[in-house]
Structure 1
């Protein structure tokens, strides 16, 4: 290999692409935190050997220590264990909410942006109504209508996100529909449904992934807020919002609030950081 071939434009562009993939330490930390939360939600028993429901009355309200990392609650239960086991409910509920928002909102935005006309008018008015109601208030209305439960809280959170995904998808579809390759496909005799699913949908949905990641973190906050207000599963459930709600009654032992709140905030900030990174790399 000659020196000239080594420094060829194609070689330099390949090196540039590899350099652009360099991940910042904050991204690595954020991914590690999210990965830990997912591991907690899937196999909580690997991270703790305490019982999340039954405690030791003699060990109640102990401060954080090597034995009890987050301390113990008013019933002598290890708070770290409660937080770990509560991750499954919090993460799975947020995932349900995101899926509902992406599927329902994405489909509405896809059809409205592609077909236009009266389809766009009808769906646009529906989206305007959803966006006119504050997101948390809409979630409270829905969960009150269908019942107090963590799954219902997830459904309510997903419904409140439909308008956001529909608006973003619609704008991306309108922009993609005007692209040259779409017009060429029309001129070549492609059917509207073929063009919709083969060309418009794959290109318009690229902006949905960062938004879905961002909405995942936001859903964790909304579901935690609903659980804090009592709209989730009742005790002895250990949803993060419920743990904070219980801890607020014991202000002399602040770790009962700080521990679940810290985990919630760290998870949401990590998800938001990953979402911003995905938008930049897109």
Structure 2
């Protein structure tokens, strides 16, 4: 290759490498990192007590002293949003964990065993998918009790069908791969093929779905808390903060602040999920 051709190729390579991390993806990772830090070390970002307020400071608008303003009891809204992050993130992780473990196991067994086992489990998954996820979550949390952890369990149950469907599809596709058939011909046991070949290859799509489901779980749990299916006050779940804020239309920041944080988090997770699918 000539020197001039090489010099023309270098900018293309640099642009290709830079395009791997678009600005929107970098911003999404930054938002997600901030939210995770809020959930792990909230006192690093605010020294205000989220449950105690100053009555004389009630309904103060956003300012340098109170970034998100104050509520009807004079409590700092930024502190309540930050301290409520742990509950929202933990609940979403629990929901995703239930969906991945239960749904993934159902899909793995259905796709790998096949036969009547596949037929029975596939019908079960069809029933779960036929029920709207939010409606199923409301039914489950109504049976378990009105707590945030129960809302997380309900959200996880509503996601089982989606994970099972994706896992089953990936297992069926992997079973027909040439390297799996070659492993069978070389005398590999079903357990060896399942653990070494089928599970690692089938789980990649499930993990990307888990990232997307994490954002959706935050949204569903916030919706359940908004309707009163989460922890009661003085908890500071994001959905509960929005629900309380709607009762004070003149203090619009009580709704806008937690709502914007929720939307920014969900959109960031969705953007990261789309980027992972494109780079896979």
The normalised TM-score by structure 2 is: 0.95
- In the alignment, structure 1 residue 191 sits paired with structure 2 residue 189: yes
1:12-54 superposed Cα distances (whole Å, 9 cap, x missing partner): 9xx6897277301100000000000000000000000111000
Corresponding residue of 2:166: 168
1:46-85 → structure 2 map (5 Å cutoff): 46-85=44-83
Counterparts of 1:179 and 1:33, CA distance in 2: 39
Counterparts of 1:230 and 1:157, CA distance in 2: 15
| Corresponding residue SS for 1:190 | coil
How far did residue 103 of structure 1 move? Answer: 0.7
Corresponding residue of 2:135: 137
Aligned-pair RMSD on alpha carbons? 1.8
- In the alignment, structure 1 residue 112 sits paired with structure 2 residue 110: yes
Corresponding residue of 1:39: 37
1:149-189 superposed Cα distances (whole Å, 9 cap, x missing partner): 10010000000000000000100110110000000111111
Corresponding residue of 2:218: 220
Question: Of 269, 272, 278, which aligns to 1:271?
Answer: 269
Corresponding residue of 2:156: 158
- In the alignment, structure 1 residue 240 sits paired with structure 2 residue 238: yes
Counterparts of 2:192 and 2:106, CA distance in 1: 18
- In the alignment, structure 1 residue 101 sits paired with structure 2 residue 86: no
Corresponding residue of 2:257: 259
1:252-278 superposed Cα distances (whole Å, 9 cap, x missing partner): 110000000000000000000000000
Counterparts of 1:17 and 1:103, CA distance in 2: 40
| Corresponding residue SS for 1:252 | coil
How far did residue 115 of structure 1 move? Answer: 1.0
Counterparts of 1:225 and 1:69, CA distance in 2: 24
1:31-78 superposed Cα distances (whole Å, 9 cap, x missing partner): 000000000000000000111000000000001111000000000000
| Corresponding residue SS for 2:108 | helix
Counterparts of 1:201 and 1:151, CA distance in 2: 29
Corresponding residue of 2:198: 200
| Corresponding residue SS for 1:74 | coil
Corresponding residue of 2:247: 249
Counterparts of 1:45 and 1:262, CA distance in 2: 21
Question: Of 92, 95, 113, which aligns to 2:90?
Answer: 92
1:199-229 superposed Cα distances (whole Å, 9 cap, x missing partner): 0010111111221110000000000000001
| Corresponding residue SS for 1:212 | helix
1:229-264 superposed Cα distances (whole Å, 9 cap, x missing partner): 111000000000000000010011100000000000
